[in-house]
Amino acid sequence: DQQVKQNSPSLSVQEGRISILNCDYTNSMFDYFLWYKKYPAEGPTFLISISSIKDKNEDGRFTVFLNKSAKHLSLHIVPSQPGDSAVYFCAASALPGTYKYIFGTGTRLKVLA
Amino acid sequence: GAGVSQSPSNKVTEKGKDVELRCDPISGHTALYWYRQSLGQGLEFLIYFQGNSAPDKSGLPSDRFSAERTGGSVSTLTIQRTQQEDSAVYLCASSLEQSITEAFFGQGTRLTVV
């Protein structure tokens, strides 16, 4: 059973608007979360992280929110740009500094110009 | 090269055959990781190499899977007696030290077992 779920396989957003990508997890021991971005024919690249001591982490246009009680995190991109069109993966772990993250299946974001 | 290079980019093999997937990490990177993404699944950790230390093989799904890293550089992932459930994209990544957030991924090898 998937411990990390991205229930929306795809999302389309108009350029300049907000993109919200969601991620749910089932294991309450998860305390460390990552988001990756992947362009076609390229490997994933790390985007932003958050740990459970915070409920928000911001990096430029990208903000990750964590609701630990709901076992839910979301990635907000504001404003969305066509270059943001990619597949976004969330990942979760119970341990810091590990490489054994559990990844979701990804959400394909398309930003329309 | 400038990035992590994987070869071949695509591989179609018959069930029961052995396959070798190659990863050329970024020069000087001591940490090397293998992951795979099967259809409809997230990335799954397979194996981790760090310098001359014994690799962490805890993610390998069966004893048909093995990997080596020669001279601390190139790595080869070998799948023996391939099965259809081995079909996936196999991703390699490398980093200076152990840090998956600072790792650079290759473009992957898409393996199809028919």
| Contact (CB<8Å) B42/A91 | yes
Stretch A88-97: mean pLDDT, rounded? 94
What average pLDDT does this structure show over A95-113? 94
Please tell me which of the candidates B33, B45, B101 has its beta carbon nearest to residue A34. B101
For range B62-79, the mean pLDDT:
94
% pLDDT > 70, chain B: 99
Predicted confidence band at A41 (pLDDT cuts at 50, 70, 90)?
Answer: confident
CB B20 within 8 A of CB B76: yes
pLDDT in tens, A49-84: 999 999 999 999 999 999 999 999 999 999 999 999
Q: What is the pLDDT at residue B72?
A: 77
Q: Which of residues 5-24 of B touch A (CB under 8 A)?
A: none
Q: What is the pLDDT of residue A67?
A: 96
Q: What is the DSSP letter of B56?
A: B
Averaged pLDDT, A2-27: 96
Residue A98, SS3? coil
pLDDT band at A2 (very low <50, low <70, confident <90, very high): confident
The answer to whether B42 contacts chain A (CB < 8 Å) is yes
Which pLDDT score, from 0 to 100, does residue A64 have? 98
**What is the rounded CA–CA span in Å between residue B9 and residue B82?**
17
Residue among A45, A91, A99 minimizing CB distance to B48: A99
Q: Are A22 and A86 in contact (CB under 8 A)?
A: no
Confirm or reject contact between B77 and chain A (CB < 8 A).
no
B89, amino acid identity: V
Q: Across chain A, what does the average pLDDT equal?
A: 95
- Round to whole Å and give the CA distance between A100 and A67: 22
Closest CA to B74 of B20, B6, B19, B23: B23
Q: What is the pLDDT of residue B1?
A: 53
Instruction: Pick A46's closest partner by Cβ from B37, B91, B101.
Output: B101
Residues of B in contact with A45 (CB under 8 A): 104-105
Task: Name the residue in chain A with its Cα closest to that of B39.
Answer: A105
- What six digits make up the tokens of A74? 């979301």
Q: Is B99 on the interface with A (CB under 8 A)?
A: yes
| Position with higher pLDDT, A88 vs A96 | A88
Contacts (Cβ under 8 Å, ≥6 apart) of A73 = A22, A23, A25, A33, A50, A64, A65, A66, A67, A90
**B47-56 confidence digits (pLDDT tens):** 999 988 999 9
